[in-house]
Structure 1
Amino acid sequence: MRVSRPKYWLYHILVGGFAILLLYPVIWLLMSSFKVSEQIFITADALLPDPFIISNYAQGWEGFAGFSFGVFIKNTLVFVAFMLVGHLVSCSLIAFGFARLKFAGKGIWFAVMMFTLMLPYEVVMIPQYIIFSQLGWLNSLKPLVVPAFFGHPFFIFLLVQFIRTIPRDLDEAARIDGCNTFSIYYRIILPLITPALATTAIFTFYWTWDNLLGPVLYLNSPSKYTVSMALNMFLSNETVSSWGAMFAMSILTLVPVFIIFFIFQRYVVEGISTSGIKG
């Protein structure tokens, strides 16, 4: 059915206006990064900076404690890389076991795994800190990345639901061709759950990139700080906060997030919908 032209334009005007409304905080952040720090909140209602300066970016990139902001970006990339490998490997293996293998108490263990999904991080934060402290892992990435190699309940559930849509006939055909259980996982299942794996990778990237609580708990050397910790250091309770530098570096840290989203957004939708095999 053809849509009348007035309705067509009305629809796009409403959607465009709503999009601008949602993007306004980001636009305000971008414009404020070119303002003098002392004027940011005084002229908060004025979107355009006056005067227009770019020194905030140079000041923010200098970092603090003798470390440039590039060091913090590098630390965060290393953190993200370990988390990606850990979640993709462990979650896919565990999900394959729940979806395809038969073992005693599978339903109970799956229910226990889902129960951990409802536990707030604050509940396990102190016990985990005590354990990692006794292991001597403080001030390192180990407390942050090692748990990722033991799975994440949300991603396990997502992958289990996706794997269950794949016909078991493919497994039986693979066994006839001589594949063992691991070969079925590696050669059959993994290629077919690429959208769900991509969704896992994207969400892992997002949650790790802006993770503040974990690094604050376990990292205390400026040379190991992540970008979220570095941004927090621009704020001071004793001296004047460097709002302009913090906003400038916030814009830089948003660039990878937008790039990842626009490149892989179709995988997010396809992965969450758990559409399985088509055709």
Structure 2
Amino acid sequence: MTKIDDAPVSAPLATETIVTGRRAVPRRRSPFRKPLASVIRHGLLILLAVGMLYPVIWMVVSSLRPNDEIFRDPSIIPDSFEISNYTDGWTALAAPFGAYMWNSAVIVLGCIIGNLVSCSMAAYAFARLHFSGKRFWFAVMLLSIMLPIHVIIVPQYVLFSQLGWVNTFLPLIVPKLLATDAFFIFLMVQFIRGIPKELDEAARIDGAGHPRIFLQIILPLMVPALATTAIFTFIWTWNDFFSQLIFLTKPELYTVPLALRSFEDAQSSTNYAQMFAMSVVSLIPIFLIFLFGQRFLIKGIATTGIK
């Protein structure tokens, strides 16, 4: 009786193939190929980022240069630092630059509150309520996105002038309370449509009406969309120049964009160093908004169905 060898027989590796009884050794890739491709890819991305950020970096560097050296040297390495551009630019206009930032903050706060309240209510109506002509009015709302502001600015100015609102903040804030930003309505409608209707039905069984469903169920779940609306409203209103130029003509009511424009004087030399210094100061709120609201912005855009 023969004894069978109990030693295990090694199976061929999964990456190996047998051809005519002979093993074909797989071709090995270079261990440096993948890291090299990653280095090249990241290097190109860094160069692209530097190219996109070059104007901002140049503006920051120019704010630290003497006024007569700004356009003579396009490099981003300053030869000297003029910190006085910030202190002198802060008090260069009729009022301290902080007064103009305060005016912009008041307008921005009113616009954010107006858009959050009015657009969320309009979005809930389009997404959850059933009324006559719903699709027609929703289409009209979407068409208003393509309507340029230059078409409606003249009728608005005539209306607000008759109301005595010119040279006040009301023409810039009151329209936001009437859900005039169709983009934010559409964004919130898409978000609300992604919320299960079973939550509404369960609340309705418990005796809740539409106001309670909106305030206690839908609104808490809309935080990403509301944060996205607040961030975009802040940026667009803070940087708005055209509307504020039309309705605000008194220097004491100027906002940040109008104040920066006041640094340019057609009859005398313009102090670009101070203007760039105050431009850097005006970018700080936007930078902070992006820094602390980036995750809400990405989440809000990713979950609204805008693809």
Q: What TM-score bracket applies, with the shorter chain setting the length?
A: over 0.9
Q: Distance between the aligned counterparts of 2:188 and 2:281, measured in 1?
A: 32
Q: What SS does structure 2 have at the residue aligned with 1:241?
A: coil
* 1:176-195 paired onto structure 2 within 5 Å: 176-195=205-224
Q: Distance between the aligned counterparts of 1:150 and 1:271, measured in 2?
A: 23
Q: Deviations over 1:168-223 (max 9, x none)?
A: 11000011122110000001101111101100000000001111111110111111
- Say which one has the larger Rg: 2
Q: Distance between the aligned counterparts of 1:119 and 1:168, measured in 2?
A: 33
Alignment pair present for 1:71 and 2:99: yes
Q: Deviations over 1:38-78 (max 9, x none)?
A: 221122x232223321111011100412x100100111111
TM-score normalised over the length of structure 2: 0.86
Q: Distance between the aligned counterparts of 2:58 and 2:67, measured in 1?
A: 14
Aligned counterpart, 1:38: 68
Aligned counterpart, 2:169: 141
Match of residue 20, structure 1, among 37, 50, 53: 50
Q: What SS does structure 2 have at the residue aligned with 1:16?
A: helix
Aligned counterpart, 1:250: 279
Kindly report the root-mean-square deviation, in angstroms, between the aligned alpha carbons of the 2 structures: 1.4
Aligned counterpart, 1:110: 138
* CA spacing shift, 1:136–1:275, aligned 2, 3 Å: closer
Query: Deviation of residue 275 (structure 1)?
Result: 5.3
Q: Distance between the aligned counterparts of 1:79 and 1:261, measured in 2?
A: 19
Q: Tell me which of the two structures has the higher relative contact order, counting C-alpha pairs closer than 8 angstroms and 6 or more residues apart.
A: 1
Q: Distance between the aligned counterparts of 2:141 and 2:183, measured in 1?
A: 9
Give unmatched runs, 5+ long, in structure 1: none
* 1:1-279 paired onto structure 2 within 5 Å: 4-43=34-73, 45-65=74-94, 67-151=95-179, 152-274=181-303
- Amino acid aligned to 2:280: I
Q: Deviations over 1:61-102 (max 9, x none)?
A: 00412x100100111111110001000000000000000001
- For these two proteins, the number of residue pairs brought into alignment is 273
- Amino acid aligned to 2:294: Q
Per residue, is there more helix in 1 or in 2?
1
Q: Distance between the aligned counterparts of 2:72 and 2:164, measured in 1?
A: 47
* CA spacing shift, 1:244–1:190, aligned 2, 3 Å: same
Q: Distance between the aligned counterparts of 1:54 and 1:175, measured in 2?
A: 63
Q: Distance between the aligned counterparts of 2:143 and 2:254, measured in 1?
A: 32
Give unmatched runs, 5+ long, in structure 2: 1-30
8 A contact 2:188–2:304 mirrored in 1 = no
The worse-fitting range, judged by mean Cα deviation, of 46-55 and 95-104 is: 46-55
TM-score normalised over the length of structure 1: 0.95
**Identity rate of aligned residues, in percent?**
48
Q: Deviations over 1:91-150 (max 9, x none)?
A: 000000000001111111111111111000000010110010011100000000000001
Q: Distance between the aligned counterparts of 2:304 and 2:260, measured in 1?
A: 39
- Amino acid aligned to 1:188: I
